[in-house]
Structure 1
Amino acid sequence: MSLSTQFLGHTYANPLMNASGVHCMSVEELQELDRSSAGAFITKSATPAEREGNPEPRYYPVALGSINSMGLPNRGFDYYLDYVLNRESKGDGRVFFSVAGMSLADNLAMLHRLQDSDYTGVTELNLSCPNVPGKPQVGYDFEQTQQILTEVFQFYKKPLGVKLPPYFDMVHFDTIAGILNRFPLAYVNCINSVGNALYIDTDLEQVVVKPKNGFGGIGGQYVKPTALANVRAFYVRLNPEIKVIGTGGITTGRDAFEHLLCGATMLQIGTQLCKDGTPVFDRVASELQQIMDSKGYKSIDEFRGKLQSIE
């Protein structure tokens, strides 16, 4: 039995990754991911210049997940580009590069630099940044999404995926999938956190994060059903060459199995990685292996995408 996964021309030991934004701010954290049992890993979403992000407290762990309003804190594009270029000699494709500009011009500028660089890995364009005050999520603006991808693919020739917000309406699934299918995307990543949730400390009678009067993105077990729905909706709607990365609520091997059953090829762990650290990858992989063994599966491809409906 093997957890090995084929993704964009590379073979990974397993489908597990960190979610961008978690345990990937610094080179030290990225090196810990590199030493972990994760099949691959991704950088913090980079903006052209370093950002401090939103004021603290901006992350709060809760029993079933977490709430955050981080505001894209990161060390800046050059910091992460230097890291991935220094690591290119390994040639294993394990590190992905995430970009999340504050404007179309920002995104185009960073992608131009990546296109012109020696970086040969996978890039993820974050179209879902719900926790920047005053900024809407690009992924909910269908015209802007189409405009960005149209301009990007006029020059960008390297593997590119997009991180998407959660969608909640069948018409929206149909509409955004119709747009995405027009472009040579490598993958879509479903989902980013569910935006504008509110968590309250009843003892203090106040919110638990400072930015946006306590409104923030919710993650963890709270969002798994929504994440699974998005993975499945895009898996059945997108062109077969566009893969799906499943993100949201993966805390156990059973959660990972469900994401794969819905059609995900790679899996990203966010909240539980923040809580448990990099040993989470060993545990989830072991639990996934146990489930596969109990069902007699020798490889992920034997069940991936084969979710059954009730006749």
Structure 2
Amino acid sequence: MSVDMRTYLAHVELANPITTAAGCAASGAELSQFFDLARLGAVVTRSITMAPRAGRPTPRMAETPSGMLNAVGLQGPGVEVFLERELPRLVDRGARAVVSVAGGSVAEYAALARRLSDAPGVAAVEVNLSCPNVEDLGRVFARDPAASAEVISSVRATMRYDVPVIAKLAPDVADIVAVARACVDGGADALAMINTPLGMSIDVDSMRPSLAAGTGGLSGPAIRPLAVRCLWQVHAAMPGVPIVGMGGVMTGRDALEMILAGACVVSVGTALFHDPYACLRILRELEDLLKERGFERLADAVGLAHRPPGAGPRHRIDLEESSL
């Protein structure tokens, strides 16, 4: 018996729920040397900015127990080069492209959406809200419900109606449900969580911070319980909103945990740095786990941990019609 692994990001159907996480596979060129990118549910690009960015000084990465810190600084070629070179390569390989965008102002996010709106092959746009707002003393958008909603509203108003807008949320906030609700009210078709929480380590030999920037984003298995908690809370509050879960997914069991908490799509990030085949392996393990537990469809497992023991599977219509 095979399991129907199809899932939905708003109205967009994906062949399976496993995608790359933004920033962990650039725009897919490196991974395409190892396998056919069309085998993934989608490829989420690194966060694209309007202008090219050199990123932060080195060292940018440091290992930590059960994870890693990074402060790359959104290094990238800018939206024009992305549209000219990187996006067409993804489309030519048959991959579904979810384009992550990042900006320093509401106007910059809107400008990015405007450039992407007419680009062929964009399956969805993921709005990286973990960026400092240069017009508000550098306060991070993701930590303020109103600021997050304003960004999402500007992107949603600019993008084509048939391209879902996904709000990517940060965990280090007072109330992630409040931010999530504000984003949905602002027009988000789906939510992604979690972005990396802020962390730091100090090299006791050099007696200096391990990263040149001092602090950086923490990823890897260490943050998975934090991600599951955020997923659980947001799905409980808004069960009809599609959620992309991420944060320390290393195995199929990790992916299933996020799905049971409420995710209908799962992104793989840090695991790719030591295993380029991680996405395919996790997909295979996830399907085997679902089969062992008697599931005929992935959709029946989404959010199942919220249901009373012995309750029947959720109806597939919950996922297909959640954005209608």
Taking structure 1 as the reference length, the TM-score comes to: 0.86
Residues 188 and 302 (structure 1), Cα distance of their counterparts in 2 relative to 1, 3 Å cut: same
Residues 121 and 283 (structure 1), Cα distance of their counterparts in 2 relative to 1, 3 Å cut: closer
Report the Cα distance in structure 1 between the residues aligned to 2:210 and 2:125, rounded to whole angstroms: 33
Contact 1:38 1:281 in 2 (8 A): yes
Report the Cα distance in structure 2 between the residues aligned to 1:151 and 1:184, rounded to whole angstroms: 9
Report the Cα distance in structure 2 between the residues aligned to 1:281 and 1:178, rounded to whole angstroms: 30
Report the Cα distance in structure 1 between the residues aligned to 2:306 and 2:149, rounded to whole angstroms: 32
Residues 204 and 294 (structure 1), Cα distance of their counterparts in 2 relative to 1, 3 Å cut: farther
Residues 117 and 95 (structure 1), Cα distance of their counterparts in 2 relative to 1, 3 Å cut: closer
Question: Is structure 2 residue 255 aligned with structure 1 residue 256?
Answer: yes
User: What's 1:159 paired with?
Assistant: 164
**Cα shift at 1:46:** 0.6
Report the Cα distance in structure 2 between the residues aligned to 1:262 and 1:106, rounded to whole angstroms: 34
Correspondence 1:188-227 to 2 at 5 A: 188-195=191-198, 197-211=199-213, 214-227=214-227
Which residue type is aligned with residue 299 of structure 1? R
User: What's 2:48 paired with?
Assistant: 46
Report the Cα distance in structure 2 between the residues aligned to 1:143 and 1:190, rounded to whole angstroms: 18
User: What's 1:237 paired with?
Assistant: 237
Aligned residue among 177, 185, 191 for 1:182: 185
Contact 1:22 1:44 in 2 (8 A): yes
Residues 120 and 127 (structure 1), Cα distance of their counterparts in 2 relative to 1, 3 Å cut: same
Q: Deviations over 1:14-73 (max 9, x none)?
A: 211111001215x62364487244321111101111101000110123340110111110
Report the Cα distance in structure 1 between the residues aligned to 2:34 and 2:153, rounded to whole angstroms: 33
Give the percent of matched residue pairs that are identical in Structure 1 and Structure 2: 27
Contact 2:47 2:128 in 1 (8 A): yes
User: What's 1:121 paired with?
Assistant: 123
**Local SS of the residue matching 2:7:** strand
Correspondence 1:64-75 to 2 at 5 A: 64-75=66-77
Which residue type is aligned with residue 188 of structure 1? L
Which residue type is aligned with residue 162 of structure 1? A
Which residue type is aligned with residue 153 of structure 2? T
Residues 88 and 293 (structure 1), Cα distance of their counterparts in 2 relative to 1, 3 Å cut: closer
Structure 1 residues without counterparts, runs of 5 or longer: none
Residues 245 and 236 (structure 1), Cα distance of their counterparts in 2 relative to 1, 3 Å cut: same
**Cα shift at 1:309:** 7.7
**Cα shift at 1:93:** 6.4
User: What's 1:272 paired with?
Assistant: 271
Report the Cα distance in structure 1 between the residues aligned to 2:307 and 2:207, rounded to whole angstroms: 44
Residues 88 and 221 (structure 1), Cα distance of their counterparts in 2 relative to 1, 3 Å cut: closer
Contact 2:172 2:197 in 1 (8 A): no
Contact 2:184 2:190 in 1 (8 A): no
**Cα shift at 1:290:** 3.1
**Local SS of the residue matching 1:7:** strand
Report the Cα distance in structure 1 between the residues aligned to 2:42 and 2:269, rounded to whole angstroms: 14
User: What's 1:300 paired with?
Assistant: 298
Alignment RMSD (CA, Å): 2.6
Taking structure 2 as the reference length, the TM-score comes to: 0.83
**Cα shift at 1:254:** 1.0
Which residue type is aligned with residue 143 of structure 1? A
Correspondence 1:102-117 to 2 at 5 A: 102-117=104-119
**Local SS of the residue matching 1:96:** strand
Q: Deviations over 1:187-219 (max 9, x none)?
A: 110000011x112333443322111xx211111
User: What's 1:76 paired with?
Assistant: 78
Which residue type is aligned with residue 245 of structure 2? G
Aligned length: 300
Q: Deviations over 1:122-163 (max 9, x none)?
A: 111110147x9x843211022212222333333332321111
Residues 308 and 265 (structure 1), Cα distance of their counterparts in 2 relative to 1, 3 Å cut: closer
Report the Cα distance in structure 2 between the residues aligned to 1:144 and 1:10, rounded to whole angstroms: 27
Contact 1:167 1:230 in 2 (8 A): no
**Cα shift at 1:75:** 1.4
Aligned residue among 260, 282, 285 for 1:284: 282
Contact 1:161 1:189 in 2 (8 A): yes
Residues 116 and 284 (structure 1), Cα distance of their counterparts in 2 relative to 1, 3 Å cut: closer
| Stretches (4+) displaced over 4 A | 85-90, 308-311
Report the Cα distance in structure 2 between the residues aligned to 1:105 and 1:183, rounded to whole angstroms: 16
**Local SS of the residue matching 1:210:** coil
